[in-house]
Copies of this chain bind each other. A is one copy, B any other.
C-alpha cells in the first residue's frame, strides 16, 4: 500500500513514518523541509495545489499531518495558519479525489473548545476560539465534506497533545528539560493544575498505521491517552530526574483550558488505545534530548 505522508519531516511525521515503514507500507514524505535519509521526501508546499496533485497521484492513502501545529505561531501569524491548515487540507482532499486516494487526517482534541460535559466524546459540540484549533477544525470539516459530497474516503483522528523524541524546542517538555538540565528553575505558567492527556507519538503513529489499513470513513475519532497529567506533575517528573527549583508565573494567553477526552470509540472501532505510560515516555524523551547548550 502506497502512502504519502505530509509533514513527514516534522516531530510527529518522523514517528509516523518510522511506524508505517516498519509495518510494511511504501511511504513517501511530503514536506517543506528534507527529512532523514531513510525516507524519500518530496519537497513541496501544501498551499500549492499542483504540487499536491503531483505528489498524491498514484498513492492509495494520504496521511495528512503537515500543518501549522505550533499554537503560538498560529496566534502570531493567523493568516499562515489559515493558508496551511485550511487551504492546505482542502488541497489534500482535492488531490486525493483526483487520485482516488483515501485520507487520514491529524486533527486535534483542541477542536472541542470549552467542555460542555466530560469526558468529551466525538459528539461533543466544537467551539474552537483560537487560530490553531479554528483552522484545524475547518480543515477537518473540508475533508469530511469532500468525503460526503465528492466521495473522498476520509477519517480524522483528533489527537491528544503529542510528546516524544524530537519535540519542538518551544514545547513545555523541552522547556522544562532544557532548564532543569542546566539546573535553572522551572517556571510553571499558571498554577500548574491545568492537565493534558499527553499522548506519546509512538501511540499516535500506531493509530495512523491502523487507520491506513481500515476502511472506516466519514468519521472523526478521538485518539488520546487515558490519563490526565497536570503541568505540575510533568514538572515534578522532570525534577525527579534533574533536581532544580520550581517557580510559578502568569498564565500564557491562548492556552487551551484542560478538559477530559474519551477515546472509547477508536478502541471499539480500531482496537486502539494508548500503551506508552507517561513515565516510560518521559524516559524515552530524555534519551533523545540533544546535549544541553
Task: Report A's interface with B, CB cutoff 8 A.
Answer: 49, 75, 78-79, 81-83, 86-87, 90-91, 93-94, 125-131, 134-135, 137-138, 141-142, 144-146, 148-149, 253-254
Contacts and interface: CB of A to CB of B under 8 A. Distances in A.
Contacts of A146: 78
A79 B50 CA distance: 12
A131 B142 contact: yes
A130 B138 CA distance: 11
Given A138-B134, A142-B82, A142-B134, A75 B149 contact: yes
A94 B79 contact: yes
B134 A135 contact: no
Contacts of A75: 149
Nearest to A91: B79
Given A91-B79, A135-B138, A145 B125 contact: no
Contacts of A83: 83, 87
Interface of A is mostly: helix
Contacts of A135: 86, 138, 142
Given A49-B79, A82-B86, A91-B79, A129 B141 contact: yes
Contacts of A141: 128-129, 134
A24 to B, nearest CB: 33
A10 to B, nearest CB: 22
Could you say which of A86, A125, A130 has the most chain B C-beta atoms within 10 Å of its C-beta?
A86
A126 B125 CA distance: 8
A86 B93 CA distance: 17
B86 A254 contact: no
Contacts of A81: 90
Contacts of A94: 78-79
Contact of A145 (B129, B138, B144, B148): B129
Given A125-B125, A125-B127, A135-B142, 5 more contacts: A79-B87, A86-B87, A86-B138, A129-B145, A134-B141
Nearest to A125: B125
Contacts of A134: 138, 141-142, 145
Contacts of A125: 125, 127
A114 B86 CA distance: 22
A49 B130 CA distance: 20
A90 B74 CA distance: 12
